[in-house]
Amino acid sequence: MKKLALLLLAILAGPSGADESTSIRWVGDQVTRRTIYHSPQTPGYTCWLGAWIMPDKSLMISFTQNTGPVDRTGRAPAEVLKKFPMLIERPKRDAMGLKKANLYMRSTDRGATWQLVGEAPFDGPLAYCAPGGQEAVLNDGSVLRGVFGYFLPTMDVPQSAFLQRSTDGCRTWSKPQILGDPSKETWRLTRLRRLRDGRLIATGGRSRVPSTSPIAQVWRIWEPLLIVSEDDGRTWSSPIDFLPKAENQGWLEEWDTAELASGDLLCVFRRVNPDKLIDDPAYPGRKVARTWNPSPKDQIRWQAVLVKDGKTWRLGPNGPAPFPHSGHPELLATREGPVLHIATSGVDLTGDGGQTWSKLSFPHLKDAYRSRYYPKSVQADDGTIYVFGHTGGDDDFGSRDQAVFMDTFRLARH
């Protein structure tokens, strides 16, 4: 099935997105890896990295940190437990009583040293609310970040996706800018990206149920969310429904894009394997995952090309992608031309808009290169590729000693 779908993808795609990098063999070179942050306590909980480059070329990262006693007796309020029953099933997931914050660090020397420049506390029973990747630098040098208010049920904030701005280097943040209508739908952003024409795009998930709905209802009916801003994030378009209605089922909210030279968007999605979907007992004719939180073995990577059509996009060639499941997809459109897919399973490269992929080799490494969990990457002006991630996975607090890692490498012709 996968080989047939990829063959069809290549035939339909034709030459769009191809460039001279297709005929060049690339390798990864000058690889480094080191720990750049550890929590003040052990085991540490530091995870969900974001990364971006400021106008003055300094590097910035964001991540979530929880600290406090591993053994806690405090529990979320009863009404919150009804919305998030997994906190009853797995009590260690309940983060009530912990000190929680999104931390912001900056490096002005190409990652050699890092300084803590901002801390945004949050409260509630969920361990995170603004995973990295939802940040963008605006034209005036301020930073825009996305937050998932659904995971902040005990705070007085919109209970869906919202945006905030910082004009002082991530030390303080503006009041929430609500996206969508939380009384009708629940949105979650997972990526903010700048296009070459200056517009911003936000991608994530759209669940067409109110944000008061239990998590099992929200998570079973995610469909991809794509919205656009032409005024640096002040206003946003309505969602661009690029999927046929019959195919907007069985998706997860995490996907990423890489803009091709043509203006098309190469996309990689987390998706429930269509063969694993079942009929929704509540809505005849709708397909859903067997459980609200699909097992990795029921998920696949799916790739698509969104073909530029004026100021919007339409669905182009799509089918299964040749990568194993590995958390949030991470794509990097490099200065050299190829697009990289970076994951805990390794780095794959395409020079023809996703028609073909090849494994990027790292000849000077004894073992194959694999990123840390939920990687986020950027490329500096000098060609250095930075990949940030954390040890472990989606771990319960205190169950594993997490730390923040930075990898660097360059693309070299071979």
Mind giving me the DSSP string for 8-72? HHHHHHTTTTB-GGGGS-EEEEEEEEEEEE--SSSS-EEEEEEEEE-TTS-EEEEEEEEES-SS-
For 165-222, the pLDDT digits (tens) are 999 999 999 999 999 999 999 999 999 999 999 999 999 999 999 999 999 999 999 9
Contact 63/38 with Cβ under 8 angstroms? no
Domain residue limits at 68 = 2-413
Half-sphere exposure (Cβ direction) of 178: Cα atoms closer than 13 Å: 13
Structural domain count, the chain: 1
For 41-52, the pLDDT digits (tens) are 999 999 999 999
The SS3 assignment for 274 reads: helix
For residue 256 the two structure tokens come to 């990423």
Q: How many residues does the chain have?
A: 414
H, E, C per residue of 341-409: EEECCEEEEECECCCCCEECECCCCCCCCCCCEEEEEEECCCCCEEEEEECCCCCCCCCCCCCEEEEEE
Q: How many CB atoms lie within 10 A of CB 123?
A: 16
Contact 130/158 with Cβ under 8 angstroms? no
Q: Among the listed ranges 10-24, 77-91, 281-295, 381-395, which one has the minimum average pLDDT value?
A: 10-24
- CATH number of the domain bearing residue 231: 2.120.10.10
What pLDDT does residue 73 have?
A: 79
pLDDT average, residue stretch 373-383: 98
Q: Which residues pair with 299 in a beta bridge?
A: 272
For 126-176, the pLDDT digits (tens) are 999 998 999 999 999 999 999 999 999 999 999 999 999 999 999 999 999
For 2-32, the pLDDT digits (tens) are 444 444 444 344 444 445 555 689 999 999 9
Closest alpha carbon to 329 in 389, 262, 243, 254: 254
